[in-house]
Amino acid sequence: MYITELSTTHSQTQLQRIGQGFCGSVWAHPFPDVDFRSSALVLKREDGGPGRSLLREYQMHHQILAALQASKNVPAAYRVNIPVSFLFMDETSPHWASILTRLPPQYTACNASVSERIMPMPQNVRQLLGHRFWGGDVDQVINDPTNEHCLIRPYLGRTRGGQQSPSDTRPRRLRVFSLRNFPLHLDQITELGLPADEYAMVMADTLAFLHWSAKVDANDVEFVLARCRTQTQPEAASESHPGFGSREFTSGAIGPHAMWILDFDCCGQLTMDEAGVEQAAKCFWRNDPFYPKPGSSSPDGDRLWEVFKARFLRASQEILQAEDTAVQRLPGRLMNRIVETRGAWAKSPTG
């Protein structure tokens, strides 16, 4: 059974907290940089703020995976991976007995899910990010075990200039530098020579799939750049490799890597009508600035929005080719509504 990796059957070592969100905490077996064989699962616990439901996330995740299986028309340019979802457990699950002993003493059974672990960027990438974007003690940052779980959040919709608050006059050494969920802004992506256009295309394909195949609004979905899936991962993960597209990213600066999506607990159903378009436009603006945006202040940002939009319309057309005209018009309506509602829903300034 897959779950054994997180239990005492597998190891007595304490599980490591690799993530924290509003919904709860995320735990995995600790691993050295080179050992992937026993590190392919994460446990997400519903121990965060009220109002979030891991059961709902599990159901959404499965709705998305089922749509993927059923889809014949998912456009396939660059690869995007969706973690395998293995299990939902409530507080009565018998698995807790052998998992709780690997968690801190005060932890109790609760709702939780088990899914495939997105493998973090290797040490050379962490070093590169530290050297390029941190003026402080790079060795300290790289050797900090909390930074081992390095996922990159590609922010095509924001530049560092657009993000800095003029009031942040703290000296650099007092600012937090974490590689955990590292926000890589458009100017940094360009500086590293990473393929921003291709990232925009894969995000457009993914959003088209989520809206029109899976029929979800993609509210608060996260995009991350991380390692590609490898053959060295255990059978549990290689049985099925959810995702679409066949071309992997192979940039010189950070080596082979893949786009992944995660975090479906805020996703809602999307209706195939004008109300759905409105909801999708709102979710587009309310998400963290992954997507390129219209009306950006930089020519690069504007060009990228056009790349994203063209690709989104093309992918949507492919997915919706068997639908009636009213439904086929929705993707175009959505792109227009996104332009029209600029500033209405944004939760933070865009660059």
Ligand X SMILES: Nc1ncnc2c1ncn2[C@@H]1O[C@H](COP(=O)(O)OP(=O)(O)O)[C@@H](O)[C@H]1O
**Contacts with Mg ion, residue ranges (CB under 5 A):** 21, 263
Q: Dig out the tokens for 202 from the structure.
A: 């894969």
Site string for ligand X, 206-245 (x = CB under 6 A): ----------------x-----------------------
In the list 2, 7, 24, 261, the residue contacting ligand X (rule: CB under 6 A) is: 24
Q: Which of 295, 282, 293, 284 is nearest to 157 (CA)?
A: 293
Site string for ligand X, 133-152 (x = CB under 6 A): ------------------x-
Q: Which is nearer to ligand X, 43 or 277 (CB)?
A: 43
Which listed option, Mg ion, ligand X, none, makes contact with residue 48 (CB within 5 to 8 Å by class)? ligand X
- Least distance in angstroms from the C-beta of 153 to Mg ion: 10
DSSP 29-97: ----TT--TT--EEEEE--SSTT--HHHHHHHHHHHHHHHHH-S----SB-EE---EEEEE-TT-TTHH
For residue 169, count CB atoms less than 10 angstroms from its CB and return exposed for 0-12, middle for 13-18, buried for 19 or more. Answer: exposed
Q: Which is nearer to Mg ion, 23 or 121 (CB)?
A: 23
- Least distance in angstroms from the C-beta of 155 to Mg ion: 15
In the list 3, 6, 40, 42, the residue contacting ligand X (rule: CB under 6 A) is: 42
Q: Which is nearer to Mg ion, 21 or 183 (CB)?
A: 21
> Do residues 202 and 312 lie in contact, with contact meaning Cβ atoms separated by under 8 Å?
no
DSSP 185-245: EHHHHHHTT--HHHHHHHHHHHHHIIIIIS-B--TT-EEEEEPPP-TTS-HHHHS---EE-
DSSP 270-287: --SSHHHHHHHHHHHHHS
- Least distance in angstroms from the C-beta of 314 to ligand X: 29
Which listed option, Mg ion, ligand X, none, makes contact with residue 118 (CB within 5 to 8 Å by class)? ligand X
Question: 297-336: which residues touch ligand X (CB under 6 A)?
Answer: none
- Least distance in angstroms from the C-beta of 262 to Mg ion: 7
CB burial string 326-346: b at 16+ within 10 A, e below: eebebbebbbebbeeebeeee
Question: 44-73: which residues touch ligand X (CB under 6 A)?
Answer: 44, 48
Helix (H, G, I), strand (E, B) or coil at 300: helix
Q: Stretches 97-105, 111-119, 133-141, 158-166: which one binds ligand X (CB under 6 A)? A: 111-119
Shortest-Cβ-distance residue relative to Mg ion: 21
> Do residues 269 and 328 lie in contact, with contact meaning Cβ atoms separated by under 8 Å?
no
- Least distance in angstroms from the C-beta of 169 to ligand X: 29
Pairing between β-strand 181-185 and β-strand 151-155 as defined by DSSP bridges: parallel
Which listed option, ligand X, Mg ion, none, makes contact with residue 181 (CB within 5 to 8 Å by class)? ligand X
In the list 181, 251, 298, 341, the residue contacting ligand X (rule: CB under 6 A) is: 181
For residue 15, count CB atoms less than 10 angstroms from its CB and return exposed for 0-12, middle for 13-18, buried for 19 or more. Answer: buried
* Element housing 115 (H / E): strand 112-116
Which listed option, Mg ion, ligand X, none, makes contact with residue 217 (CB within 5 to 8 Å by class)? none
- Least distance in angstroms from the C-beta of 115 to ligand X: 5
Question: Within its chain, how far is the Cα of 259 from the centroid?
Answer: 8
In the list 15, 18, 334, 338, the residue contacting ligand X (rule: CB under 6 A) is: 18
The verdict on 162 binding ligand X (CB under 6 A) reads: no
Which listed option, Mg ion, ligand X, none, makes contact with residue 26 (CB within 5 to 8 Å by class)? ligand X
Size of the site for ligand X (CB under 6 A): 22
Binding residues for ligand X, rule: CB under 6 A, are: 18-24, 26, 42, 44, 48, 83, 115-118, 151, 181, 222, 262-263, 265
